[in-house]
Amino acid sequence: MTSSITKNRIESIDVLRGIAMVVMALDHVRDYFHVTAITEDPLNLGTTTTLLFFTRWITHFCAPIFVFLSGTSIYLQSQRKTKNELSTFLFKRGLWLIFIEFTVVSLAWSFDLHYSILFLQVIWAIGISMVFLSLLIYLPFRIILALGLFIVLGHNLLDIPESAPDFKTNFWWDLLHHGAFAAYAYAEGHSVFLVYPFVPWLGLMMVGYCAGTLFTKDILPEQRRKLLTYFGLSVLALFVVVRFINVYGDPFPWSSQKNSWFTVLSFVNIHKYPPSLMFMCLTIGSAMLLLPVLEKIQNGFTNTMKTFGRTAFFYYIIHIYLIHFLSAICFFARGHTFEESAAISQTFPFKFVVPGEGFGLSVVYLVWILVVAALYPLCKWYDRYKTSHPEKWWLSYI
């Protein structure tokens, strides 16, 4: 009975993680294929459409769910490893992820063998958070929870000085909190592109780590489902109340728009870089409501999503290369040359897209479906290989 319950708990986490990974690919396809991907913000309520808005907005759920569940998975590992073993693993895995972000992932985004730009995105944020968590796990559980909640609930206080007209950032401030798409040169012709300031993500991983207690054998399935539902509704209620007050929790307040529907879109248009309190409340509150539902469902869809969830890092890397490669094929099929791609890269360093060229959303969705379908056999193979070779320690790093 216990082993069955434990299996179901792990599977519900893997299924939700898999859904997040699949949805994430939609935004990356849009980045490389949509006609306005490099000229307009899909969340700009003055220019967007409802479908374009939600094509981008729905992918907001992916990174926070992945980071939160990473913390949960780490707690589950703590049930079968000593603190020293877990700390050593997290420290090495975190450094490994940072290395992969700088090398394999940066190359995937840019196709630039000279590494003119190093991207600090979600893999970096997870990696550095794991490095810190490798030390934090020695603290009492309540201290970890308190620190995680303090970061998640309080980091938007930094919006106050950041909103001042004369406020100036620097590399370290941007690295910790502010730096959405800030570029810093570290050598001639080379720079670091800060996309994910990591402190809020660390707080979210810490809270996800503490949420792992809900998935231990000490919590009965029905009790866990009730607790997840209660926490999910509470977090979403917090989002509605705080967002409605419109004073704290997101650096950009919502406002009345041209009609009531677009006012609703403004209300849910929350800030990701860095993830605001409202951003984390909406995404994680929804995730908490989904987990108990997914726990009771087992069909072809959940089995497919589980495969993607169990191979998330493997999937993440190869899906960027595949999407970028398909974009390059379209670029050269239009008659463009390598010289033109080099010229474009001066302005759009990780795109094979000419401003004004590209496709509509119907093609974006078609390419997304084809990419996910093409990756499933590879992920299925890798999942089987990883499961059948538990003795290969290095597989836990991929």
**pLDDT tens digit sequence for 211-269:** 999 999 889 999 999 999 999 999 999 999 999 999 999 999 999 999 999 999 999 99
50 CB-near residues (< 8 Å, 6+ apart)? 261, 265
Residue 334 pLDDT exceeds 80? yes
> What pLDDT, on the 0 to 100 scale, is given for residue 207?
98
> What pLDDT, on the 0 to 100 scale, is given for residue 6?
43
Higher pLDDT pick, 346 / 352: 352
> What pLDDT, on the 0 to 100 scale, is given for residue 165?
87
Residue 344 pLDDT exceeds 80? no
Task: Give the predicted TM-score (pTM) of the model.
Answer: 0.93
Instruction: Tell me the CA distances in angstroms from 321 to 113, 196, 375, one per residue in order.
Output: 14, 20, 11
Residue 349 pLDDT exceeds 60? no
296: exposed, middle or buried (Cβ count in 10 Å: 0-12, 13-18, 19+): exposed
Among 3-7, 181-185, 188-192, whose mean pLDDT is lowest? Answer: 3-7
Note whether 353 and 38 are within 8 A (CB): yes
Residue 1 pLDDT exceeds 70? no
Cis peptide before 274 (omega within 30 of 0): yes
Report, in angstroms and rounded to the nearest whole number, the Rg of the chain calculated over CA atoms. 21
- When pLDDT is cut at 50, 70 and 90, the band that residue 309 belongs to is very high
Note whether 365 and 26 are within 8 A (CB): yes
CA angle 322, 68, 293 (to 5 degrees): 90
> What pLDDT, on the 0 to 100 scale, is given for residue 335?
86
> What pLDDT, on the 0 to 100 scale, is given for residue 178?
85
Q: Per DSSP, what are the bridge partners of residue 8? A: none
